[in-house]
Amino acid sequence: GGGGKSGKFSWMPVDKLEGEIAKTSTKLKGMDEQLASEEVYRDVKRCNALLNDREKIADELREMEEEWLKRAGK
């Protein structure tokens, strides 16, 4: 988390932002399902790779939601 810099999603129109948030939430849900499946769970390499990706995507989602809240709050 950087300081008070403008978010990388600040250029996005709100409707696009909402679409991206929905898409990203769905992606995360899919990853959670994969992580819950036994074959992934047992495959340490795959599991770790998935967790790393999930973390990046979760960060992006959080940034998008913050940007959205900033605008919705006005």
Distances (CA, A) of 46 to 30, 38, 41, 52: 15, 12, 8, 10
Q: Cα separation of 28 and 38, whole Å?
A: 18
Q: Cα separation of 69 and 74, whole Å?
A: 9
Which amino acid, one-letter code, is at 37?
A: S
User: Locate tokens 């909402």: which residue?
Assistant: 18
pLDDT, residue 3, reads: 47
Per residue in 49-74, pLDDT (tens digit) is 999 999 999 999 999 999 999 988 76
pLDDT, residue 44, reads: 94
Per residue in 2-60, pLDDT (tens digit) is 445 677 888 999 999 999 999 999 999 999 999 999 999 899 999 999 999 999 999 99
